[in-house]
Chain A
Amino acid sequence: MSETISALNNAGYSGLVRIDETGLQGMITLRGDLSLTTVKKVATTASGATFPGQRQITVSDTGALAWMSPDELLILCPYEEVSDRLAKMTKTLGNTNALAVDVSDARAIFAISGEDARDVMAKLCPVDLHPEVFKPGEIRRTRLAQIAAAIWMEDDDNFRLICFRSVAQYAYDVLKVAAAAGSAAGFHAAQDPV
Protein backbone atom coordinates (compact mmCIF):
# COMPACT_ATOMS: atom_id res chain seq x y z
CA MET A 1 0.00 0.00 0.00
CA SER A 2 1.17 3.52 -0.72
CA GLU A 3 2.62 5.57 2.11
CA THR A 4 0.28 8.29 3.36
CA ILE A 5 1.84 11.64 4.15
CA SER A 6 0.38 14.87 5.48
CA ALA A 7 -0.05 18.02 3.38
CA LEU A 8 3.41 19.48 4.01
CA ASN A 9 5.08 16.32 5.31
CA ASN A 10 6.04 17.73 8.71
CA ALA A 11 7.51 21.01 7.47
CA GLY A 12 8.85 23.25 10.22
CA TYR A 13 10.11 26.80 10.65
CA SER A 14 11.79 28.67 13.48
CA GLY A 15 11.30 32.39 13.71
CA LEU A 16 9.68 34.43 16.44
CA VAL A 17 7.86 31.23 17.22
CA ARG A 18 8.21 27.65 16.15
CA ILE A 19 5.79 26.57 13.41
CA ASP A 20 5.30 22.90 12.68
CA GLU A 21 2.99 21.03 10.43
CA THR A 22 2.43 18.21 12.86
CA GLY A 23 1.77 15.45 10.37
CA LEU A 24 -1.03 12.96 10.12
CA GLN A 25 -3.85 13.58 12.54
CA GLY A 26 -7.05 11.59 12.71
CA MET A 27 -10.12 13.78 12.47
CA ILE A 28 -13.75 12.77 12.45
CA THR A 29 -16.50 15.27 11.94
CA LEU A 30 -19.84 14.56 13.55
CA ARG A 31 -22.98 16.41 12.58
CA GLY A 32 -26.32 15.99 14.25
CA ASP A 33 -28.54 17.27 17.02
CA LEU A 34 -26.06 17.79 19.84
CA SER A 35 -28.79 17.65 22.46
CA LEU A 36 -29.41 13.95 21.72
CA THR A 37 -27.97 11.53 24.28
CA THR A 38 -26.83 9.13 21.54
CA VAL A 39 -24.89 11.84 19.72
CA LYS A 40 -23.25 12.98 22.95
CA LYS A 41 -22.37 9.44 23.91
CA VAL A 42 -20.87 8.66 20.49
CA ALA A 43 -18.73 11.79 20.60
CA THR A 44 -17.42 11.31 24.11
CA THR A 45 -16.74 7.60 23.62
CA ALA A 46 -14.89 8.10 20.34
CA SER A 47 -12.72 10.94 21.63
CA GLY A 48 -12.37 9.84 25.25
CA ALA A 49 -12.97 13.45 26.22
CA THR A 50 -15.84 15.05 28.10
CA PHE A 51 -18.59 16.81 26.14
CA PRO A 52 -17.48 20.38 25.36
CA GLY A 53 -19.60 23.45 25.94
CA GLN A 54 -20.22 26.09 23.32
CA ARG A 55 -16.91 27.22 21.70
CA GLN A 56 -14.95 24.78 23.88
CA ILE A 57 -12.50 21.98 23.21
CA THR A 58 -11.86 19.15 25.65
CA VAL A 59 -8.76 16.98 25.57
CA SER A 60 -8.16 13.37 26.58
CA ASP A 61 -5.10 11.10 26.52
CA THR A 62 -5.84 9.82 23.06
CA GLY A 63 -7.78 12.60 21.47
CA ALA A 64 -9.88 15.71 21.77
CA LEU A 65 -13.43 16.83 21.18
CA ALA A 66 -14.22 20.26 19.78
CA TRP A 67 -17.44 22.23 19.41
CA MET A 68 -17.50 23.52 15.83
CA SER A 69 -21.05 24.88 15.45
CA PRO A 70 -24.46 24.31 17.05
CA ASP A 71 -24.75 20.99 15.19
CA GLU A 72 -21.17 19.98 14.53
CA LEU A 73 -18.37 18.41 16.54
CA LEU A 74 -14.82 17.51 15.61
CA ILE A 75 -13.18 14.45 17.10
CA LEU A 76 -9.39 14.26 17.10
CA CYS A 77 -7.71 10.89 17.50
CA PRO A 78 -4.60 9.04 16.32
CA TYR A 79 -4.57 8.69 12.54
CA GLU A 80 -4.37 4.88 12.61
CA GLU A 81 -7.43 4.56 14.83
CA VAL A 82 -9.83 6.56 12.68
CA SER A 83 -11.46 3.68 10.82
CA ASP A 84 -11.98 1.63 14.00
CA ARG A 85 -13.43 4.51 15.97
CA LEU A 86 -15.55 5.59 13.01
CA ALA A 87 -16.98 2.10 12.57
CA LYS A 88 -17.97 2.00 16.24
CA MET A 89 -19.51 5.45 16.00
CA THR A 90 -21.57 4.58 12.93
CA LYS A 91 -22.77 1.40 14.65
CA THR A 92 -23.79 3.19 17.84
CA LEU A 93 -25.49 5.97 15.90
CA GLY A 94 -27.66 3.42 14.09
CA ASN A 95 -30.75 5.16 12.78
CA THR A 96 -30.07 8.43 14.59
CA ASN A 97 -30.18 11.35 12.19
CA ALA A 98 -26.50 12.17 12.43
CA LEU A 99 -23.44 11.78 10.25
CA ALA A 100 -19.86 10.89 11.15
CA VAL A 101 -17.22 11.24 8.45
CA ASP A 102 -13.45 10.74 8.32
CA VAL A 103 -11.95 14.08 7.31
CA SER A 104 -8.33 13.36 8.34
CA ASP A 105 -6.96 13.62 4.82
CA ALA A 106 -8.99 16.73 4.01
CA ARG A 107 -7.30 18.87 6.62
CA ALA A 108 -3.91 20.02 7.77
CA ILE A 109 -2.89 20.75 11.33
CA PHE A 110 -0.21 23.12 12.61
CA ALA A 111 1.39 23.81 15.96
CA ILE A 112 2.48 27.37 16.71
CA SER A 113 4.57 27.53 19.84
CA GLY A 114 6.62 30.12 21.63
CA GLU A 115 6.26 33.13 23.85
CA ASP A 116 5.11 35.32 20.96
CA ALA A 117 2.49 32.84 19.76
CA ARG A 118 -0.41 35.11 20.72
CA ASP A 119 1.14 38.00 18.79
CA VAL A 120 1.77 35.91 15.70
CA MET A 121 -1.79 34.57 15.65
CA ALA A 122 -3.25 38.00 16.35
CA LYS A 123 -1.57 39.33 13.21
CA LEU A 124 -3.60 36.90 11.13
CA CYS A 125 -6.87 36.18 12.93
CA PRO A 126 -9.56 38.73 13.84
CA VAL A 127 -9.86 37.29 17.33
CA ASP A 128 -9.36 38.91 20.70
CA LEU A 129 -6.40 36.87 21.93
CA HIS A 130 -5.88 38.70 25.19
CA PRO A 131 -4.83 36.15 27.84
CA GLU A 132 -7.89 37.01 29.91
CA VAL A 133 -10.25 36.54 26.98
CA PHE A 134 -8.89 33.65 24.93
CA LYS A 135 -7.70 30.80 27.09
CA PRO A 136 -6.68 27.19 26.65
CA GLY A 137 -9.81 25.09 26.31
CA GLU A 138 -11.50 27.49 23.94
CA ILE A 139 -11.73 26.95 20.18
CA ARG A 140 -12.51 29.54 17.54
CA ARG A 141 -13.42 29.00 13.95
CA THR A 142 -12.29 32.10 12.18
CA ARG A 143 -10.14 33.38 9.36
CA LEU A 144 -6.41 33.07 9.02
CA ALA A 145 -5.66 35.94 6.62
CA GLN A 146 -7.76 34.86 3.63
CA ILE A 147 -8.66 31.30 4.57
CA ALA A 148 -10.94 29.56 7.03
CA ALA A 149 -9.26 28.05 10.06
CA ALA A 150 -9.96 26.77 13.55
CA ILE A 151 -7.59 27.69 16.36
CA TRP A 152 -7.24 26.71 19.98
CA MET A 153 -4.56 26.81 22.64
CA GLU A 154 -2.97 23.75 24.21
CA ASP A 155 -1.43 25.90 26.91
CA ASP A 156 -0.40 29.52 27.27
CA ASP A 157 2.35 29.43 24.61
CA ASN A 158 1.03 26.80 22.25
CA PHE A 159 -1.57 27.20 19.55
CA ARG A 160 -3.02 24.54 17.33
CA LEU A 161 -4.50 25.38 13.97
CA ILE A 162 -6.59 23.33 11.57
CA CYS A 163 -7.21 24.38 7.98
CA PHE A 164 -8.16 22.66 4.76
CA ARG A 165 -5.41 20.58 3.20
CA SER A 166 -5.71 22.39 -0.11
CA VAL A 167 -4.63 25.66 1.54
CA ALA A 168 -2.00 24.18 3.85
CA GLN A 169 0.87 25.76 1.90
CA TYR A 170 -0.80 29.18 2.09
CA ALA A 171 -1.38 28.79 5.83
CA TYR A 172 2.24 27.77 6.37
CA ASP A 173 3.59 30.64 4.26
CA VAL A 174 1.44 33.27 5.89
CA LEU A 175 2.36 31.96 9.35
CA LYS A 176 6.05 32.14 8.42
CA VAL A 177 5.65 35.78 7.36
CA ALA A 178 3.86 36.61 10.62
CA ALA A 179 6.64 34.90 12.55
CA ALA A 180 9.55 36.36 10.57
CA ALA A 181 12.56 37.32 12.66
CA GLY A 182 12.50 40.98 13.67
CA SER A 183 8.73 41.30 13.35
CA ALA A 184 7.93 41.02 17.05
CA ALA A 185 4.93 43.13 17.99
CA GLY A 186 5.30 42.64 21.73
CA PHE A 187 1.63 43.49 22.11
CA HIS A 188 0.42 40.72 24.37
CA ALA A 189 3.61 40.66 26.40
CA ALA A 190 3.06 44.34 27.12
CA GLN A 191 -0.41 43.54 28.49
CA ASP A 192 0.92 41.26 31.19
CA PRO A 193 1.18 42.79 34.63
CA VAL A 194 4.85 43.18 35.56
Chain B
Amino acid sequence: MSEVSLAQIEKDTVATMSETTWRYWLALGIALSLVALGGWAWSVALRQGLGITGLNEPVMWGALITTFVFFIGVSHSGTLVSAILFFTRSPLRAAIGRSAEAMTVFTIMTAGLYPIVHIGRSWLFFFVLPYPNQRQLWMNFRSPLTWDVFAITSYVTVSMLFLYMGMLPDLALLARQVKSWRRPLYRVLSLGFSGTDGEWRIFEKAYPIFAGVVIPLAVSVHSVVSWDFAMTVMPGWHSAIFAPYFVAGAIFSGIAVAVLLLSGLRRGYHLERYITPKHFDMLAKLLLAMSLVMTFVYATEFFMAFYRGSKAEMEVFRWRATGTYAPVFWGVVISNSVAPLALFWSRARNHLPTLITISVLVTVGMWFERFLFIVTTLARSFVSQNWGNYIPSWKESFICLGGFGWFLMLFLIFIKLFPCMAISESMQSQHAVDAAVTPEASHA
Protein backbone atom coordinates (compact mmCIF):
# COMPACT_ATOMS: atom_id res chain seq x y z
CA MET B 1 0.00 0.00 0.00
CA SER B 2 3.01 2.24 0.40
CA GLU B 3 2.87 3.35 -3.22
CA VAL B 4 -0.44 5.13 -2.59
CA SER B 5 -0.20 8.64 -1.24
CA LEU B 6 -1.74 9.39 2.13
CA ALA B 7 -4.04 12.00 0.70
CA GLN B 8 -5.32 9.38 -1.70
CA ILE B 9 -5.95 6.88 1.09
CA GLU B 10 -7.93 9.47 2.95
CA LYS B 11 -9.87 10.48 -0.13
CA ASP B 12 -10.74 6.92 -1.05
CA THR B 13 -11.78 6.05 2.47
CA VAL B 14 -14.03 9.07 2.73
CA ALA B 15 -15.45 8.16 -0.67
CA THR B 16 -16.67 4.81 0.64
CA MET B 17 -18.81 6.75 3.06
CA SER B 18 -20.06 9.59 0.91
CA GLU B 19 -20.45 8.08 -2.54
CA THR B 20 -23.32 5.71 -2.96
CA THR B 21 -23.63 3.63 -6.09
CA TRP B 22 -26.54 1.60 -7.44
CA ARG B 23 -24.72 -1.49 -6.30
CA TYR B 24 -24.96 -0.31 -2.75
CA TRP B 25 -28.67 0.38 -3.03
CA LEU B 26 -29.22 -3.00 -4.63
CA ALA B 27 -27.38 -4.77 -1.81
CA LEU B 28 -29.21 -2.76 0.80
CA GLY B 29 -32.51 -3.48 -0.95
CA ILE B 30 -31.83 -7.21 -0.87
CA ALA B 31 -30.82 -7.02 2.77
CA LEU B 32 -33.92 -5.08 3.76
CA SER B 33 -36.22 -7.44 1.88
CA LEU B 34 -34.67 -10.40 3.67
CA VAL B 35 -35.07 -8.62 6.99
CA ALA B 36 -38.72 -7.90 6.19
CA LEU B 37 -39.32 -11.51 5.20
CA GLY B 38 -37.61 -12.83 8.31
CA GLY B 39 -39.34 -10.29 10.52
CA TRP B 40 -42.71 -11.30 9.18
CA ALA B 41 -41.95 -14.99 9.70
CA TRP B 42 -40.79 -14.31 13.23
CA SER B 43 -43.93 -12.32 13.97
CA VAL B 44 -45.95 -15.34 12.91
CA ALA B 45 -43.85 -17.49 15.23
CA LEU B 46 -44.44 -15.06 18.07
CA ARG B 47 -48.20 -15.09 17.54
CA GLN B 48 -48.70 -18.74 16.80
CA GLY B 49 -45.80 -20.38 18.58
CA LEU B 50 -42.96 -22.57 17.47
CA GLY B 51 -45.42 -25.01 15.94
CA ILE B 52 -44.94 -23.17 12.68
CA THR B 53 -41.40 -24.51 12.51
CA GLY B 54 -40.50 -28.04 11.62
CA LEU B 55 -39.26 -28.69 15.15
CA ASN B 56 -40.85 -31.58 16.93
CA GLU B 57 -39.91 -34.67 18.88
CA PRO B 58 -37.19 -35.90 18.67
CA VAL B 59 -35.47 -33.07 16.77
CA MET B 60 -36.00 -30.08 19.01
CA TRP B 61 -33.01 -28.12 17.78
CA GLY B 62 -32.94 -27.34 14.11
CA ALA B 63 -32.35 -24.57 11.63
CA LEU B 64 -32.62 -21.76 14.20
CA ILE B 65 -29.92 -23.18 16.44
CA THR B 66 -27.89 -24.00 13.34
CA THR B 67 -28.03 -20.38 12.28
CA PHE B 68 -27.02 -19.32 15.77
CA VAL B 69 -23.98 -21.58 15.78
CA PHE B 70 -23.13 -20.55 12.24
CA PHE B 71 -23.15 -16.84 12.95
CA ILE B 72 -21.22 -17.21 16.17
CA GLY B 73 -18.69 -19.04 14.07
CA VAL B 74 -18.48 -16.37 11.42
CA SER B 75 -17.93 -13.74 14.08
CA HIS B 76 -14.72 -15.38 15.23
CA SER B 77 -12.44 -14.97 12.34
CA GLY B 78 -13.05 -11.22 12.28
CA THR B 79 -11.57 -10.67 15.70
CA LEU B 80 -8.92 -13.30 15.33
CA VAL B 81 -7.74 -12.11 11.93
CA SER B 82 -7.62 -8.52 13.10
CA ALA B 83 -5.87 -9.26 16.39
CA ILE B 84 -3.40 -11.71 14.89
CA LEU B 85 -2.50 -9.34 12.09
CA PHE B 86 -2.00 -6.74 14.78
CA PHE B 87 0.39 -8.87 16.75
CA THR B 88 2.34 -9.95 13.72
CA ARG B 89 2.50 -6.25 12.78
CA SER B 90 1.28 -7.13 9.36
CA PRO B 91 0.92 -4.23 6.93
CA LEU B 92 -2.11 -6.07 5.60
CA ARG B 93 -4.13 -5.08 8.63
CA ALA B 94 -4.77 -1.44 7.81
CA ALA B 95 -7.01 -2.23 4.86
CA ILE B 96 -9.02 -5.16 6.16
CA GLY B 97 -8.87 -5.07 9.96
CA ARG B 98 -11.73 -2.64 10.39
CA SER B 99 -14.14 -4.54 8.14
CA ALA B 100 -13.19 -7.76 9.88
CA GLU B 101 -13.94 -6.29 13.30
CA ALA B 102 -17.22 -4.84 12.08
CA MET B 103 -18.12 -8.23 10.69
CA THR B 104 -17.52 -9.70 14.14
CA VAL B 105 -19.75 -7.22 15.89
CA PHE B 106 -22.63 -7.59 13.46
CA THR B 107 -22.52 -11.34 13.13
CA ILE B 108 -22.57 -11.75 16.89
CA MET B 109 -25.50 -9.36 17.08
CA THR B 110 -27.25 -11.53 14.52
CA ALA B 111 -26.32 -14.76 16.26
CA GLY B 112 -27.68 -13.54 19.57
CA LEU B 113 -31.16 -13.20 18.05
CA TYR B 114 -31.58 -16.87 17.28
CA PRO B 115 -31.69 -18.37 20.75
CA ILE B 116 -34.19 -15.64 21.53
CA VAL B 117 -36.30 -16.68 18.55
CA HIS B 118 -35.84 -20.30 19.46
CA ILE B 119 -37.10 -20.02 23.04
CA GLY B 120 -40.55 -19.32 21.63
CA ARG B 121 -41.72 -16.88 24.26
CA SER B 122 -39.04 -14.49 23.20
CA TRP B 123 -40.24 -11.66 25.41
CA LEU B 124 -39.15 -13.60 28.47
CA PHE B 125 -35.54 -13.90 27.37
CA PHE B 126 -34.37 -11.84 30.34
CA PHE B 127 -35.07 -14.85 32.56
CA VAL B 128 -31.55 -15.97 31.71
CA LEU B 129 -29.96 -13.04 33.51
CA PRO B 130 -28.93 -13.27 37.15
CA TYR B 131 -30.99 -10.59 38.82
CA PRO B 132 -33.01 -10.77 42.05
CA ASN B 133 -36.48 -11.72 40.93
CA GLN B 134 -39.94 -12.58 42.19
CA ARG B 135 -39.51 -16.19 41.21
CA GLN B 136 -36.77 -16.31 43.84
CA LEU B 137 -34.61 -18.39 41.54
CA TRP B 138 -31.13 -18.10 40.20
CA MET B 139 -30.09 -19.72 37.00
CA ASN B 140 -28.18 -22.96 36.92
CA PHE B 141 -24.58 -21.91 36.44
CA ARG B 142 -23.56 -25.45 35.62
CA SER B 143 -25.46 -25.33 32.36
CA PRO B 144 -23.57 -24.53 29.17
CA LEU B 145 -26.66 -22.62 28.02
CA THR B 146 -26.09 -20.20 30.87
CA TRP B 147 -22.41 -20.02 29.93
CA ASP B 148 -23.57 -19.01 26.49
CA VAL B 149 -25.43 -16.04 27.88
CA PHE B 150 -22.32 -14.77 29.62
CA ALA B 151 -20.01 -15.62 26.77
CA ILE B 152 -22.09 -13.87 24.15
CA THR B 153 -22.84 -10.75 26.15
CA SER B 154 -19.16 -10.43 27.02
CA TYR B 155 -18.14 -11.02 23.45
CA VAL B 156 -20.51 -8.52 21.94
CA THR B 157 -19.47 -5.88 24.47
CA VAL B 158 -15.76 -6.46 24.12
CA SER B 159 -15.74 -6.71 20.34
CA MET B 160 -17.70 -3.47 20.08
CA LEU B 161 -15.24 -1.72 22.37
CA PHE B 162 -12.36 -3.17 20.39
CA LEU B 163 -13.83 -1.84 17.16
CA TYR B 164 -14.57 1.53 18.68
CA MET B 165 -11.21 1.90 20.34
CA GLY B 166 -9.40 1.10 17.12
CA MET B 167 -11.53 3.63 15.33
CA LEU B 168 -10.99 6.46 17.81
CA PRO B 169 -8.01 8.09 16.03
CA ASP B 170 -9.80 7.90 12.72
CA LEU B 171 -12.91 9.46 14.17
CA ALA B 172 -10.80 12.30 15.51
CA LEU B 173 -9.28 12.83 12.08
CA LEU B 174 -12.67 12.79 10.41
CA ALA B 175 -14.18 15.13 12.98
CA ARG B 176 -11.63 17.69 11.89
CA GLN B 177 -11.96 17.00 8.23
CA VAL B 178 -15.42 16.09 7.17
CA LYS B 179 -18.06 18.74 6.78
CA SER B 180 -21.83 18.14 6.49
CA TRP B 181 -24.02 16.47 9.07
CA ARG B 182 -21.39 13.86 9.76
CA ARG B 183 -19.16 16.30 11.56
CA PRO B 184 -21.12 16.49 14.84
CA LEU B 185 -21.41 12.70 14.82
CA TYR B 186 -17.66 12.18 14.58
CA ARG B 187 -17.01 15.00 16.99
CA VAL B 188 -19.14 13.42 19.66
CA LEU B 189 -17.84 9.94 18.99
CA SER B 190 -14.20 10.99 18.89
CA LEU B 191 -14.62 12.27 22.46
CA GLY B 192 -12.21 15.13 21.85
CA PHE B 193 -9.25 12.90 21.08
CA SER B 194 -6.70 15.26 19.57
CA GLY B 195 -3.68 13.04 19.07
CA THR B 196 -1.41 14.49 21.72
CA ASP B 197 1.68 12.60 22.66
CA GLY B 198 0.23 11.68 26.05
CA GLU B 199 -2.90 10.29 24.46
CA TRP B 200 -0.93 8.23 22.01
CA ARG B 201 1.26 6.79 24.74
CA ILE B 202 -1.74 5.52 26.67
CA PHE B 203 -3.43 4.34 23.53
CA GLU B 204 -0.40 2.41 22.39
CA LYS B 205 -0.14 0.67 25.72
CA ALA B 206 -3.81 -0.14 26.05
CA TYR B 207 -4.60 -1.34 22.56
CA PRO B 208 -2.24 -4.36 22.55
CA ILE B 209 -3.60 -5.53 25.88
CA PHE B 210 -7.08 -5.22 24.50
CA ALA B 211 -6.14 -7.16 21.39
CA GLY B 212 -4.49 -9.77 23.59
CA VAL B 213 -7.64 -10.18 25.64
CA VAL B 214 -9.87 -10.44 22.60
CA ILE B 215 -8.14 -13.55 21.22
CA PRO B 216 -8.79 -15.90 24.15
CA LEU B 217 -12.27 -14.44 24.49
CA ALA B 218 -13.13 -15.35 20.91
CA VAL B 219 -11.77 -18.85 21.45
CA SER B 220 -13.72 -19.24 24.68
CA VAL B 221 -17.02 -18.14 23.14
CA HIS B 222 -17.08 -20.78 20.48
CA SER B 223 -15.79 -23.37 22.91
CA VAL B 224 -18.74 -22.61 25.14
CA VAL B 225 -21.09 -22.95 22.17
CA SER B 226 -19.53 -26.31 21.40
CA TRP B 227 -20.11 -27.41 24.98
CA ASP B 228 -23.85 -26.79 24.56
CA PHE B 229 -23.62 -30.01 22.62
CA ALA B 230 -20.59 -31.78 24.03
CA MET B 231 -21.69 -31.59 27.68
CA THR B 232 -24.62 -33.85 26.93
CA VAL B 233 -24.16 -37.59 26.65
CA MET B 234 -25.70 -37.66 23.17
CA PRO B 235 -23.98 -39.86 20.59
CA GLY B 236 -22.08 -37.73 18.09
CA TRP B 237 -22.06 -34.71 20.39
CA HIS B 238 -20.23 -35.93 23.43
CA SER B 239 -16.69 -35.48 22.23
CA ALA B 240 -13.82 -33.76 23.97
CA ILE B 241 -12.37 -32.37 20.77
CA PHE B 242 -15.54 -30.36 20.10
CA ALA B 243 -14.16 -27.12 21.52
CA PRO B 244 -11.11 -26.78 19.25
CA TYR B 245 -13.08 -28.34 16.41
CA PHE B 246 -15.75 -25.65 16.67
CA VAL B 247 -13.16 -22.91 16.89
CA ALA B 248 -11.50 -24.22 13.73
CA GLY B 249 -14.86 -24.44 11.96
CA ALA B 250 -15.63 -20.93 13.12
CA ILE B 251 -12.46 -19.52 11.67
CA PHE B 252 -13.06 -21.51 8.52
CA SER B 253 -16.53 -20.15 7.86
CA GLY B 254 -15.54 -16.68 9.03
CA ILE B 255 -12.70 -16.44 6.56
CA ALA B 256 -15.00 -17.50 3.76
CA VAL B 257 -17.47 -14.77 4.70
CA ALA B 258 -14.63 -12.26 5.05
CA VAL B 259 -13.48 -13.07 1.52
CA LEU B 260 -16.99 -12.44 0.23
CA LEU B 261 -17.41 -9.16 2.11
CA LEU B 262 -13.98 -7.86 1.16
CA SER B 263 -14.35 -8.74 -2.48
CA GLY B 264 -17.73 -6.98 -2.49
CA LEU B 265 -16.25 -3.94 -0.82
CA ARG B 266 -13.33 -3.92 -3.21
CA ARG B 267 -15.52 -4.15 -6.27
CA GLY B 268 -18.14 -1.71 -5.06
CA TYR B 269 -15.71 1.01 -4.06
CA HIS B 270 -12.77 0.36 -6.33
CA LEU B 271 -10.46 -0.40 -3.45
CA GLU B 272 -8.21 -2.55 -5.61
CA ARG B 273 -5.23 -0.55 -4.48
CA TYR B 274 -5.84 -1.36 -0.82
CA ILE B 275 -7.47 -4.75 -0.72
CA THR B 276 -4.85 -6.44 -2.81
CA PRO B 277 -4.21 -9.95 -4.14
CA LYS B 278 -1.88 -10.28 -1.15
CA HIS B 279 -4.83 -10.08 1.22
CA PHE B 280 -6.77 -12.65 -0.71
CA ASP B 281 -3.73 -14.89 -0.94
CA MET B 282 -3.34 -14.77 2.82
CA LEU B 283 -7.03 -15.45 3.41
CA ALA B 284 -6.98 -18.26 0.87
CA LYS B 285 -4.05 -19.91 2.62
CA LEU B 286 -5.83 -19.66 5.95
CA LEU B 287 -8.95 -21.09 4.35
CA LEU B 288 -6.95 -24.01 3.05
CA ALA B 289 -5.29 -24.63 6.40
CA MET B 290 -8.62 -24.57 8.19
CA SER B 291 -10.15 -26.86 5.61
CA LEU B 292 -7.42 -29.39 6.32
CA VAL B 293 -8.06 -29.09 10.04
CA MET B 294 -11.76 -29.69 9.44
CA THR B 295 -11.05 -32.75 7.32
CA PHE B 296 -8.73 -34.00 10.04
CA VAL B 297 -11.45 -33.59 12.66
CA TYR B 298 -14.15 -35.22 10.52
CA ALA B 299 -11.87 -38.20 10.03
CA THR B 300 -10.95 -38.40 13.72
CA GLU B 301 -14.61 -38.24 14.71
CA PHE B 302 -15.51 -41.16 12.48
CA PHE B 303 -12.53 -43.14 13.65
CA MET B 304 -13.34 -42.38 17.27
CA ALA B 305 -16.95 -43.44 16.87
CA PHE B 306 -15.62 -46.84 15.88
CA TYR B 307 -12.89 -46.86 18.50
CA ARG B 308 -15.24 -45.93 21.31
CA GLY B 309 -17.32 -48.96 20.42
CA SER B 310 -20.61 -47.36 21.44
CA LYS B 311 -23.37 -48.78 19.26
CA ALA B 312 -25.46 -45.62 19.37
CA GLU B 313 -22.57 -43.48 18.25
CA MET B 314 -21.58 -45.81 15.46
CA GLU B 315 -25.17 -45.78 14.27
CA VAL B 316 -25.28 -41.95 14.26
CA PHE B 317 -22.14 -41.74 12.19
CA ARG B 318 -23.15 -44.55 9.86
CA TRP B 319 -26.51 -42.89 9.34
CA ARG B 320 -24.98 -39.48 8.85
CA ALA B 321 -23.04 -40.76 5.85
CA THR B 322 -25.65 -43.13 4.41
CA GLY B 323 -29.09 -42.19 5.78
CA THR B 324 -31.69 -39.56 5.00
CA TYR B 325 -29.21 -36.72 5.19
CA ALA B 326 -26.47 -38.45 3.22
CA PRO B 327 -26.71 -36.00 0.29
CA VAL B 328 -26.15 -33.16 2.75
CA PHE B 329 -23.22 -35.01 4.26
CA TRP B 330 -21.50 -35.65 0.96
CA GLY B 331 -22.23 -32.11 -0.15
CA VAL B 332 -20.53 -30.87 3.00
CA VAL B 333 -17.53 -33.11 2.38
CA ILE B 334 -17.20 -31.73 -1.13
CA SER B 335 -17.60 -28.10 -0.16
CA ASN B 336 -15.56 -28.13 3.05
CA SER B 337 -12.91 -30.77 2.44
CA VAL B 338 -12.51 -31.24 -1.29
CA ALA B 339 -13.17 -27.90 -2.97
CA PRO B 340 -10.73 -25.87 -0.82
CA LEU B 341 -7.92 -28.25 -1.81
CA ALA B 342 -7.79 -26.30 -5.08
CA LEU B 343 -6.20 -23.52 -3.04
CA PHE B 344 -2.99 -25.52 -2.89
CA TRP B 345 -2.33 -24.01 -6.31
CA SER B 346 -1.34 -20.40 -6.22
CA ARG B 347 -3.21 -19.85 -9.46
CA ALA B 348 -6.47 -20.68 -7.73
CA ARG B 349 -5.57 -18.45 -4.79
CA ASN B 350 -4.90 -15.51 -7.04
CA HIS B 351 -7.91 -16.00 -9.27
CA LEU B 352 -10.62 -14.09 -7.48
CA PRO B 353 -13.67 -15.75 -9.10
CA THR B 354 -12.34 -19.16 -8.06
CA LEU B 355 -11.69 -17.97 -4.54
CA ILE B 356 -15.17 -16.45 -4.33
CA THR B 357 -16.76 -19.65 -5.59
CA ILE B 358 -14.91 -21.68 -2.99
CA SER B 359 -15.86 -19.18 -0.29
CA VAL B 360 -19.52 -19.40 -1.22
CA LEU B 361 -19.28 -23.18 -1.11
CA VAL B 362 -17.60 -23.07 2.28
CA THR B 363 -20.12 -20.61 3.71
CA VAL B 364 -23.04 -22.73 2.62
CA GLY B 365 -21.19 -25.91 3.49
CA MET B 366 -20.45 -24.75 7.02
CA TRP B 367 -24.09 -23.87 7.64
CA PHE B 368 -25.09 -27.35 6.52
CA GLU B 369 -22.29 -28.94 8.48
CA ARG B 370 -23.66 -27.40 11.68
CA PHE B 371 -27.15 -28.44 10.62
CA LEU B 372 -26.01 -31.97 9.98
CA PHE B 373 -24.37 -32.67 13.28
CA ILE B 374 -27.18 -31.06 15.26
CA VAL B 375 -29.98 -32.87 13.48
CA THR B 376 -28.49 -36.31 12.89
CA THR B 377 -27.68 -36.78 16.56
CA LEU B 378 -31.17 -35.80 17.70
CA ALA B 379 -32.85 -37.78 14.95
CA ARG B 380 -30.90 -40.93 15.71
CA SER B 381 -30.13 -41.05 19.42
CA PHE B 382 -30.16 -43.98 21.81
CA VAL B 383 -33.74 -45.25 21.62
CA SER B 384 -34.72 -46.48 18.19
CA GLN B 385 -38.42 -45.94 18.90
CA ASN B 386 -37.57 -42.27 19.23
CA TRP B 387 -35.98 -41.85 15.84
CA GLY B 388 -37.37 -39.31 13.40
CA ASN B 389 -36.54 -36.84 10.71
CA TYR B 390 -36.67 -33.10 10.51
CA ILE B 391 -37.09 -30.67 7.66
CA PRO B 392 -37.24 -26.95 8.34
CA SER B 393 -40.55 -25.33 7.46
CA TRP B 394 -40.70 -22.43 5.02
CA LYS B 395 -41.31 -19.85 7.71
CA GLU B 396 -38.43 -21.22 9.72
CA SER B 397 -36.16 -20.91 6.71
CA PHE B 398 -37.34 -17.34 6.23
CA ILE B 399 -36.36 -16.49 9.79
CA CYS B 400 -32.89 -17.88 9.05
CA LEU B 401 -32.60 -15.96 5.79
CA GLY B 402 -33.69 -12.85 7.66
CA GLY B 403 -30.55 -13.21 9.77
CA PHE B 404 -28.37 -13.01 6.68
CA GLY B 405 -30.27 -9.91 5.60
CA TRP B 406 -29.99 -8.39 9.06
CA PHE B 407 -26.25 -8.91 9.12
CA LEU B 408 -25.79 -7.49 5.64
CA MET B 409 -27.96 -4.50 6.48
CA LEU B 410 -25.96 -3.66 9.59
CA PHE B 411 -22.71 -4.00 7.72
CA LEU B 412 -23.88 -1.81 4.85
CA ILE B 413 -25.04 0.89 7.24
CA PHE B 414 -21.72 0.69 9.05
CA ILE B 415 -19.62 1.30 5.96
CA LYS B 416 -21.72 4.35 5.16
CA LEU B 417 -21.15 5.87 8.58
CA PHE B 418 -17.63 4.85 9.46
CA PRO B 419 -14.35 4.49 7.64
CA CYS B 420 -13.93 0.90 6.52
CA MET B 421 -10.15 1.26 6.31
CA ALA B 422 -7.91 2.41 9.11
CA ILE B 423 -6.60 5.80 8.00
CA SER B 424 -4.40 6.48 10.99
CA GLU B 425 -2.93 3.02 10.80
CA SER B 426 -2.18 3.35 7.09
CA MET B 427 -0.33 6.55 7.86
CA GLN B 428 1.56 4.82 10.61
CA SER B 429 2.70 2.00 8.39
CA GLN B 430 3.57 4.51 5.70
CA HIS B 431 5.61 6.36 8.29
CA ALA B 432 7.42 3.13 9.16
CA VAL B 433 8.26 2.66 5.50
CA ASP B 434 9.57 6.22 5.27
CA ALA B 435 11.61 5.71 8.41
CA ALA B 436 13.22 2.62 6.94
CA VAL B 437 14.14 4.53 3.81
CA THR B 438 15.50 7.66 5.46
CA PRO B 439 17.40 6.73 8.60
CA GLU B 440 17.10 10.26 9.93
CA ALA B 441 13.37 9.97 10.36
CA SER B 442 13.70 6.82 12.41
CA HIS B 443 15.11 8.80 15.30
CA ALA B 444 11.81 10.60 15.58
> Do A and B form a real pair?
no
